[in-house]
């Protein structure tokens, strides 16, 4: 492809992208494909000779689109959002054209400089204390990483570096490995699985703290666990507080947790993957209370802020801990300003770095702070509407308080009715949701993904849910009637008989539940 063809085909692709996004409602949000579906649609081996662009492009609709889960669809409610926007895509295009690799300041100075400025903008937008920002003579600052999982790992490794150094200073004869073997990290039992992964990679013990009735980690239980571990000769060193849990968007009590971490000399990382975007609205910053005593925080603008993947914002107060954990300095990477300018390679796991700040810069400038705030508030408002629909139907319940754009709901009754509802909704493909387990309750997570989502979309989603639920509840009723225990069986005269009867009934009820489940599974199977 030469530049002339690129100009023509590139413009055509832009039109295709705009049409795709504007007409995305016409597509089934969740594909009806099975693993391996692509085999047979494309050859097993690569072409010997280059193909024309027109030939390649035909396969976008024929091969690619039928297997896409359309994350930009207003009917996509699974996971957390992963939104894009036109200025973000233009930023990515330009960054792809420049394609510089900004590992050191010298490898492409503007890549580092713009990232520092934009991370300061974003830090101020969410109300972070100054110590987290790039300042003359300061040790704090922001960096764009790939994912929230990576930020958690980086923070754990930085915390580990600090803890090992502290203990080596106190006990010079102790080996790093001995100290590492005694390190204990903590998180809520609602924390994302990436925390467990970070502990696995860091070879440290992870202790889950049981959350309270609001799915929130509280200081008293954390402090108790820290003290118990110290009594066992272990070394508590790192805590991950979650602001906006994956299951129900619950918030750990940051103020209590950071206070403890500060007093007990533990590194506190704040994982605000989804909810962090909302902190650009002052009314949601109540959950950030206590952040001044945390050590690092991360959130994904690539989730809710319309800066598309990948773009995860991370700030640390103490970048020298990152240097300590990651500093390698081969001669070929040194430059005239080494040690004077920031070299982001010391702040991350990979050496290479994409020019991601460009898309973040474009989005912030194009929407402005008020435009982004409107976007967040609209998402929350639509979630409130959806919650009100659920609460208006007594067959449903909302078992955890709604926060921001995530509503968790279920059908009142046994878990498997809600499980069936979730599976059937996804197999119909008109909306897409995923489940979560909240203290043993099977719930469906419904995340509003705006910006294209309208109230009409939400009304349509609710109608779809009610239609499917009606079918399931009717089937259930049929089976309940058929499997009813005869009334005569319920009569008894002596306490012994009563005891015997309750055992019989338990078995009967259990049998009935099994029959119901089998029937629902069979219907599901038939519908597939």
Percent helix, strand, coil in the chain, to 5, is: 55, 15, 35
- Least distance in angstroms from the C-beta of 82 to ligand PLP: 9
Choose the binding region for ligand PLP from 48-56, 145-153, 393-401, 516-524 (rule: CB under 6 A): 145-153
- Least distance in angstroms from the C-beta of 479 to ligand PLP: 37
The alpha carbon dihedral of 221, 226, 231, 232 has a sign of positive
Please report how the helices 219-231 and 254-264 are oriented relative to each other, as an axis angle in degrees rounded to 10.
30
- Least distance in angstroms from the C-beta of 80 to ligand PLP: 5
- Least distance in angstroms from the C-beta of 369 to ligand PLP: 23
- Least distance in angstroms from the C-beta of 141 to ligand PLP: 20
Number of residues that bind ligand PLP (CB under 6 A): 15
Q: Which is nearer to ligand PLP, 216 or 242 (CB)?
A: 242
> Interface residues for ligand PLP in 313-352 (CB under 6 A)?
none
- Residue 249, token pair as written in the block: 């968007």
Phi and psi at residue 290, in whole multiples of 5°?
105, -5
If one counts every other C-beta atom within 10 angstroms of the C-beta of residue 456, the result is: 10
At 446 the three-state DSSP class reads: strand
Q: Which is nearer to ligand PLP, 104 or 245 (CB)?
A: 245
Cα Rg of the chain, angstroms: 27
Is residue 104 within 8 A of residue 342, CB to CB? The reply is: no
x-or-dash string of contact with ligand PLP, 180-209, rule CB under 6 A = ------------x-x---------------
- Least distance in angstroms from the C-beta of 146 to ligand PLP: 8
Q: Which is nearer to ligand PLP, 151 or 468 (CB)?
A: 151
Residue with tokens 């598309």: 308
Q: Which is nearer to ligand PLP, 104 or 258 (CB)?
A: 258
Among 271, 343, 387, 397, the residue binding ligand PLP under the rule CB under 6 A is 271
Examine residue 274 and tell whether it contacts ligand PLP (CB under 6 A): yes
Examine residue 148 and tell whether it contacts ligand PLP (CB under 6 A): yes
Provide the H-helix boundaries in 174-233.
Answer: 176-182, 193-202, 219-231
**Distance between CA atoms of residues 197 and 202, nearest Å:** 8
Q: Which residues contact 436 (CB under 8 A, 6 or more apart)?
A: 246, 247, 248, 408, 443, 445
Do β-strands 141-145 and 312-316 pair in parallel, antiparallel, or remain unpaired? antiparallel
Among 149, 348, 357, 418, the residue binding ligand PLP under the rule CB under 6 A is 149
> Interface residues for ligand PLP in 223-252 (CB under 6 A)?
242, 244-246
If one counts every other C-beta atom within 10 angstroms of the C-beta of residue 395, the result is: 13
Examine residue 155 and tell whether it contacts ligand PLP (CB under 6 A): no
Please report how the helices 455-482 and 357-391 are oriented relative to each other, as an axis angle in degrees rounded to 10.
50
Query: Which of 457, 404, 417, 394 shows the shortest CA–CA distance to 72?
Result: 457
Q: Which is nearer to ligand PLP, 126 or 148 (CB)?
A: 148
Q: Which is nearer to ligand PLP, 187 or 357 (CB)?
A: 187
Distances (CA, A) of 421 to 275, 432, 466, 494: 27, 11, 10, 43
- Least distance in angstroms from the C-beta of 305 to ligand PLP: 13
x-or-dash string of contact with ligand PLP, 63-102, rule CB under 6 A = -----------------x----------------------
- Residue 474, token pair as written in the block: 């009717």
Q: Which is nearer to ligand PLP, 274 or 409 (CB)?
A: 274
x-or-dash string of contact with ligand PLP, 279-318, rule CB under 6 A = ---------------------x-----------x------
* CA end-to-end distance (rounded Å), the chain: 43
Residues near ligand PLP, by CB under 6 A: 80, 147-149, 192, 194, 242, 244-246, 271, 273-274, 300, 312
């Amino acid at each position: 492809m030469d530049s002339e063809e690129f100009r023509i085909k590139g413009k055509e692709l832009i039109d295709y992208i705009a049409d795709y996004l504007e007409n995305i409602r016409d597509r089934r949000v969740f594909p009806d494909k099975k693993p391996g579906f692509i085999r047979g649609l494309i050859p097993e081996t690569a072409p010997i000779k280059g193909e024309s662009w027109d030939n390649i492009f035909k396969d976008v609709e024929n091969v690619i689109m039928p297997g896409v889960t359309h994350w930009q669809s207003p009917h996509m409610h699974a996971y957390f959002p992963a939104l894009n926007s036109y200025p973000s895509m233009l930023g990515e295009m330009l960054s792809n054209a420049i394609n510089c690799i900004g590992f050191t300041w010298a490898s492409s100075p503007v890549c580092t400089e713009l990232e520092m400025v934009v991370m300061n903008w974003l830090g101020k937008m969410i109300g972070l204390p100054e110590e987290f920002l790039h300042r003359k003579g300061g040790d704090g600052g922001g960096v764009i990483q790939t994912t929230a999982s990576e930020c958690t790992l980086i923070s754990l490794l930085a915390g580990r570096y600090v803890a090992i150094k502290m203990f080596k200073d106190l006990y010079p004869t102790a080996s790093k490995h001995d100290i590492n073997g005694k390190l204990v990290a903590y998180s809520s039992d609602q924390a994302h699985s990436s925390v467990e992964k970070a502990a696995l990679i860091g070879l440290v013990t992870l202790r889950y703290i049981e959350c309270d009735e609001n799915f929130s980690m509280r200081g008293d239980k954390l402090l108790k666990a820290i003290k118990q571990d110290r009594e066992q000769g272990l070394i508590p060193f790192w805590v991950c507080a979650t602001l906006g849990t994956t299951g129900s968007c619950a918030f750990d009590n940051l103020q209590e947790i950071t206070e403890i971490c500060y007093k007990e000399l533990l590194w506190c990382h704040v994982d605000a993957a989804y909810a962090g975007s909302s902190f650009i609205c002052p009314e949601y910053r109540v959950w950030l209370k206590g952040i001044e005593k945390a050590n690092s925080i991360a959130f994904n603008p690539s989730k809710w802020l319309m800066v598309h993947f990948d773009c995860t914002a991370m700030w640390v107060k103490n970048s020298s801990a990152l240097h300590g954990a990651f500093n390698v300095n081969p001669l070929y990477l040194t430059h005239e300003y080494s040690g004077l300018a920031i070299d982001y390679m010391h702040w991350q796991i990979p050496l290479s770095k994409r020019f991601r700040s460009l898309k973040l810069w474009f989005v912030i400038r194009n929407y402005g702070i008020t435009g982004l705030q409107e976007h967040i508030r609209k998402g929350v408002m639509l979630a409130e509407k959806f919650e009100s629909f659920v609460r208006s139907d007594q067959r449903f319940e909302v078992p955890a308080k709604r926060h921001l754009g995530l509503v968790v709901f279920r059908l009142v009754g046994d878990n498997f009715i809600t499980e069936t509802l979730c599976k059937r909704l996804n197999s119909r493909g008109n909306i897409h949701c995923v489940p979560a387990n909240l203290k043993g309750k099977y719930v469906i997570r419904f995340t509003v993904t705006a910006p294209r989502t309208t109230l009409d979309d939400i009304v349509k989603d609710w109608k779809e849910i009610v239609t499917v639920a009606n079918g399931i509840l009717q089937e259930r009723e049929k089976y309940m009637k058929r499997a009813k225990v005869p009334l005569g069986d319920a009569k008894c005269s002596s306490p012994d008989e009563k005891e015997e009867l309750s055992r019989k009934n338990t078995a009967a009820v259990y049998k009935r539940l099994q029959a119901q489940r089998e029937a629902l599974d069979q219907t599901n199977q038939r519908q597939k």
